[in-house]
Structure 1
Amino acid sequence: MTMLPPLRLDGRVVLVTGGTSGIGEGCALAAAEAGAAAVCITGRDATRGDAVVERLRALGARAQFIAADLADAEAAAAIVPRAEAALGVVDGLVNAAGITDRGTIFDTTAALWDRMFAVNARAPFLLTQAMARRLRELGRRGAVVNIITMSSHGGQPFLMAYAASKGALATLTKNTAFGLRPWRIRVNGINMGWADTPGEHAIQARDGRPPDWLAKAEAAQPFGRLLRPRDVAGLAIYLLSDASEMMTGALIDFDQNVMGAYT
């Protein structure tokens, strides 16, 4: 009987955007736990970045924090070369950073639309492009995981620009997966559902929800809780690892609700 490849990232250099909190932090720590040689994280909060780097190093990985605003195209394009200079050639990328500002078709401004697409779609494109160019040059394999959302299927009216930007990322995932097959660079995406993250707590507070919003929300879920960073991180490590080496272009609905099914 042939044994399945292990969920290991030994020797890999993994770059995680949005790695200072929430889903990105969970993916970065999981990569270190899975044996990645080095993990680079990006974000805008240097204090949080330094704290996560310390945790990564305690897990045995070399680690680096790169401060960057992904809405800045030049800054986003420079991240992969900066990560390589610090830690070595990047062969694993998790595009976990994203913004979720509210807005309907009636009140979304052009500026909000542009920033949403810059962070949620253009930055993953630039990072994937930079990594793929380098790996093609070196003749090396790699893997990209895009953290998307169930809202990419359409989304709520108050998340119009967010849903549209994540729909673009879903299409980018499939297009680049097909385009990068000759170089064995795999690209997959996770359409994650509602998650318990620091960012979600901030949004709920900003929207005026009561302090017990999480308990009420979880009690109403089919499986009794929201997703947590460790849930998504486990799938991300699978998609980065050789255990999924025959898988590319997949968009996985990672949610306890079933898209298209109604009661």
Structure 2
Amino acid sequence: MGLLDDKVVLVNGGSQGVGAAVARAAVREGAVVAVTGRRTEPGEALVAELSAAGGRALYVRADLADAEQAKASVAEVVDAYGRIDCLVNSAGLTSRGTLLDTTPELFDAHIAVNLRGPFFAMQAAVADMTAREAPGTIVNIITSSAHGGQPFLAPYVAAKAGLMGLTRNAAHAHRRDRIRINGLNIGWTATEGEDATQRAFHGAGDDWRERAGARLPMGRLGRPDEIADFVVFLLSERSGVVTGSVIDWDQNVLGGLD
């Protein structure tokens, strides 16, 4: 018996990085999985991989910056499988901007992907769950930077801090519907997206992961598969009645000082 046997799971932003790792872990635990992404090729490649391993998977092309597409991603899953049991919001935009140089366009882009998309995906998922009077679980992938973050992440922090508040608000609103909503404030993680960001904005070379890891307490960056296992735990009944929790999944301790 898997932790998610026969559950229908939608992973938004699931074609690479943390989202793809969550999709793999969910399939391994018995779930039917749908993944969304803007780029068809990696999404379909992941679905082919999951299917070849014996899983049931579906790719849904969607740009989570568009609220209607965020809602439609849930509707497509419900059309395909009759329901949605679990939602993971893992899509994210991490382009840089400070308080002084962020344009309204950059700010709006961060809000669209990191807050508005998850909001309306949650709206659609909870609407299906409550209409069926069925329990469900949602996990939002947030960031440890939501507590304040680096100066060059101003619009990212603003949007992700909003998602942290939304996670708690929605969990409180729907706790009596037996819909559990939690979040993970993940720390620095080795993903394809982070590799591209480090090279584009910080001039990083091929050894950036090793150099970055050497500065961290555990001597390495976090791994997507580790986060995925934690997400599956929160999606499953194994996590009990926990809701409204935003967990700092990080090796640095908030408030700790040397």
- TM-score range normalised by the length of the shorter chain: over 0.9
Paired position in structure 1 for 2:83: 89
Paired position in structure 2 for 1:71: 65
Distance in 2 (alpha carbons) for counterparts of 1:55 and 1:178: 37
Match of 1:232 among 227, 234, 253: 227
Paired position in structure 2 for 1:3: none
Distance in 1 (alpha carbons) for counterparts of 2:216 and 2:108: 33
In 1, are the aligned partners of 2:2 and 2:28 still within 8 Å (CA)?
Answer: no
One-letter code of the match for 2:195? H
Aligned length: 257
Distance in 2 (alpha carbons) for counterparts of 1:67 and 1:11: 23
In 2, are the aligned partners of 1:26 and 1:230 still within 8 Å (CA)?
Answer: yes
How far off is 1:61 after superposition?
2.5
Deviating beyond 4 angstroms after TM superposition, the runs of 4 or more aligned structure 1 residues are none
One-letter code of the match for 1:158? F
| Cα separation, partners in 2 of 1:220 and 1:7, compared to 1, 3 Å | farther
Identity score, percent: 48
Paired position in structure 1 for 2:204: 209
| Aligned: 1:9 with 2:8 | no
* CA deviations over 1:35-63 (Å, ceiling 9, x no partner): 11x10000011110111101221333321
How far off is 1:68 after superposition?
1.0
| Aligned: 1:155 with 2:149 | yes
Paired position in structure 2 for 1:257: 252
Distance in 2 (alpha carbons) for counterparts of 1:7 and 1:110: 46
| Aligned: 1:116 with 2:110 | yes
| Cα separation, partners in 2 of 1:257 and 1:7, compared to 1, 3 Å | farther
In 1, are the aligned partners of 2:139 and 2:183 still within 8 Å (CA)?
Answer: yes
* CA deviations over 1:2-23 (Å, ceiling 9, x no partner): xxxx860001000001111000
How far off is 1:87 after superposition?
2.7
In 1, are the aligned partners of 2:2 and 2:30 still within 8 Å (CA)?
Answer: no
In 2, are the aligned partners of 1:43 and 1:68 still within 8 Å (CA)?
Answer: yes
In 2, are the aligned partners of 1:32 and 1:59 still within 8 Å (CA)?
Answer: no
Distance in 2 (alpha carbons) for counterparts of 1:190 and 1:199: 18
Distance in 1 (alpha carbons) for counterparts of 2:125 and 2:208: 40
Distance in 1 (alpha carbons) for counterparts of 2:119 and 2:243: 16
For structure 2, list consecutive stretches of 5 or more residues without a partner in the other structure: none
User: CA RMSD, aligned part only?
Assistant: 1.1
| Aligned: 1:182 with 2:170 | no
Distance in 2 (alpha carbons) for counterparts of 1:102 and 1:153: 17
Distance in 1 (alpha carbons) for counterparts of 2:235 and 2:150: 30
| Aligned: 1:132 with 2:126 | yes
In 2, are the aligned partners of 1:22 and 1:229 still within 8 Å (CA)?
Answer: yes
Distance in 2 (alpha carbons) for counterparts of 1:85 and 1:56: 21
Paired position in structure 1 for 2:167: 173
